[in-house]
Amino acid sequence: MLPERSAAFAERRKNSRDAAMSTRNSDGTRASGETSALRAPWEPLPWRLAEEDLETAQRLAAEIRELAAKKNAVILAHNYQLARVQEVADFVGDSLGLSLRARETAADIIVFCGVHFMAESAKILNPGKKVLLPSLAAGCSLADSITADSLREWKARYPDHVVVTYINSSAEVKALSDICCTSANAVSVVRSLPERKILFTPDKNLGNWVKKRVPEKEIVVYDGVCPTHDVLRSASVRRQRGLYPDAVILAHPECREDVVALADEVCSTTGMFDAVARHPEAKTFIVATEWGIIHRLKKMYPDKEFVMADGCIGCRLHCPYMKMIDLPQVRRSLEEEVFEIEVPQDIAEGARRSLERMLAVKRDS
């Protein structure tokens, strides 16, 4: 090995050991008050914390934890958040896990490090709490692909269909739906319905994936996508498989049909943590979802290798909205109690019915 390569290798080993000093339990809850893994060497360069900024990040993290304790706040973070944001959170999870946590929490304040529809769902499920989204720039283009008017129009065209709406949607759209689902329970949600005719909104790829698994239902699928997942093509995945022929392919069901067809495991982001454990013989995993997931995968499985399905960490499988929140935004959110999420009562009631109906159904993955 060349000297500079062996030095880089040693540095990587050291960094991954440091990061592996996990402050997180395998169920996503916080294990201790430490914040030892704020700097994740596997994050792409534009987002990776520089060595010289580590002290500032540690100070911010300590202030965040102090403020959270003082204000009886809980910090929830999605699996796609920056590593340092995941590290300061009380719970890290997928959309379903986060909804359940938000509904159950006894905290006075929920700081939601994710995107707008997630914080909105938290408010709907736990209306007595103050729910804060640290950045109002954290939207979701998939959620924006369907409005209440477009759903009304669609329902009018299919009057005898029931509406299953992915949680990546606005409160208004949820209120007009019969039941919600997430990527972790979509198949079970559709199977749980007594009706045969279904409108599935707004994600086309998830809808088509469910359709294949539940052929006994007649499912009409809306034409929305998550651009982050939809951009991934099977040609890129095949190229990666050529480079890592023994790798196991993990794909999120928001990926296109041709990508999902190549996958060994199709599951929600949290489902991917269990999926790795199902392949103890595998050394390498090709990951077809947003790169933020790599942080917990690396921490949970430090001896495994995770490579992005597009072969390019941080360029294409990158959700800009999920990266709007960093430690300064979380601290400001707690300090100034911004930005508070409100949902009009009539809309919240309808959306809560759809969300609660979903939460009564078991998880698929």
Is the Cβ of residue 57 or residue 266 nearer to ligand 13P in the bound state? 266
Q: Is 35 in the site for ligand 13P (CB under 6 A)?
A: no
Q: Is 145 in the site for ligand 13P (CB under 6 A)?
A: no
Q: Which of residues 295-354 bind ligand 13P (CB under 6 A)?
A: none
Is the Cβ of residue 183 or residue 236 nearer to ligand 13P in the bound state? 183
Size of the site for ligand 13P (CB under 6 A): 10
Q: What's the N-to-C CA distance of the chain in angstroms? A: 41
Torsion angle, alpha carbons of 237, 242, 246, 252, to 10: 0
Q: Given the rule CB under 6 A, which of 33-41, 46-54, 179-187, 344-352 is the region that contacts ligand 13P? A: 179-187
Is the Cβ of residue 49 or residue 118 nearer to ligand 13P in the bound state? 118
- Eight-class DSSP state of 305: E
Q: How far is the CB of 269 from ligand 13P (least distance, A)?
A: 3
- The two tokens of residue 228 are 């982050």
| Contact by Cβ (8 Å): 19, 40 | yes
Q: Given the rule CB under 6 A, which of 53-61, 120-128, 154-162, 182-190 is the region that contacts ligand 13P? A: 182-190
Q: Is 183 in the site for ligand 13P (CB under 6 A)?
A: yes
Is the Cβ of residue 120 or residue 254 nearer to ligand 13P in the bound state? 254
- The two tokens of residue 325 are 């929140």
Q: Is 168 in the site for ligand 13P (CB under 6 A)?
A: yes
Q: Which of residues 68-107 bind ligand 13P (CB under 6 A)?
A: 94-95
Which of 46, 175, 27, 22 minimizes the C-alpha distance to 96? Answer: 27
Q: What does the alpha-carbon distance between residue 301 and residue 294 come to, in Å, rounded to a whole number?
A: 10
Is the Cβ of residue 23 or residue 169 nearer to ligand 13P in the bound state? 169
Q: Is the dihedral of CA 118, 203, 364, 290 positive or negative?
A: negative
β-bridge mates for residue 285, sequence order: 248, 306
Which of 322, 307, 296 minimizes the C-alpha distance to 83? Answer: 296
Is the Cβ of residue 86 or residue 95 nearer to ligand 13P in the bound state? 95
Select from 35, 81, 169, 182 the one that contacts ligand 13P (CB under 6 A).
Answer: 182
Q: Where are the alpha helices (DSSP H) in the chain?
A: 3-19, 54-70, 83-88, 95-104, 116-125, 141-144, 148-157, 171-175, 186-192, 204-213, 227-230, 234-243, 257-260, 269-277, 294-300, 327-336, 345-359
Q: Is 226 in the site for ligand 13P (CB under 6 A)?
A: yes
Give me the 252-281 binding string for ligand 13P, x by CB under 6 A, dash otherwise.
--x-------------xx------------
Q: Given the rule CB under 6 A, which of 3-11, 46-54, 178-186, 338-346 is the region that contacts ligand 13P? A: 178-186
Q: Which of residues 233-252 bind ligand 13P (CB under 6 A)?
A: none
Strands 109-113 and 73-78 turn out to be parallel
Q: Given the rule CB under 6 A, which of 8-16, 176-184, 187-195, 216-224 is the region that contacts ligand 13P? A: 176-184
Q: How far is the CB of 273 from ligand 13P (least distance, A)?
A: 11
Is the Cβ of residue 105 or residue 168 nearer to ligand 13P in the bound state? 168
Q: How far is the CB of 270 from ligand 13P (least distance, A)?
A: 6
| Element (DSSP H or E) covering residue 75 | strand 73-78
Judged by DSSP in three states, 308 sits in strand
Q: How far is the CB of 189 from ligand 13P (least distance, A)?
A: 12
- The two tokens of residue 83 are 């590593």
Q: What does the alpha-carbon distance between residue 235 and residue 309 come to, in Å, rounded to a whole number?
A: 10
Q: How far is the CB of 14 from ligand 13P (least distance, A)?
A: 31
Q: Which residues here bind ligand 13P, judged by CB under 6 A?
A: 94-95, 168, 182-184, 226, 254, 268-269
